[in-house]
Amino acid sequence: MPKLEKDLEARCRALARSCDGELLRIKPIIKGWHDDLLLLPGLICLVEFKRSKKAAVQPLQNTRQKWCEVRGIPAYRVHDYGEFETIVRCWKAS
């Protein structure tokens, strides 16, 4: 398992590209929003990478996640490669 978020992001970016997609690093100017945008054919979603399930989550991040959920906006908090792979593979299968 990657020890740094950037290592996890690099693996996930490679998977997105192998599925004809992109994983773009975004720099929101408003705190608490997800740091990455996943673009796949037929899917646009927000992604927040965390090094592990024990990694600190800022209260605003939970607020933004709930905001997306209420509005039906796909947004994910990803802790490991398997979680990201599930997002990509499930979308690709549908």
Q: What average pLDDT does the structure give for the chain?
A: 90
Predicted confidence at residue 93, as pLDDT, reads 65
- Cβ atoms 78, 8 nearer than 8 A: yes
Predicted confidence at residue 91, as pLDDT, reads 77
Give percent of the chain with pLDDT exceeding 70: 94
Residue 93 buriedness (CB in 10 A; 0-12 / 13-18 / 19+): exposed
pLDDT category of residue 78 using cuts at 50, 70 and 90: very high
**CA atoms in the 13 A half-sphere facing the CB of 61:** 14
For the chain, which residues make up each domain, given as ranges?
Answer: 5-93
- Structurally, at CATH architecture level, domain 5-93 sits in 3-Layer(aba) Sandwich (3.40)
Q: What is the pTM of this model?
A: 0.88
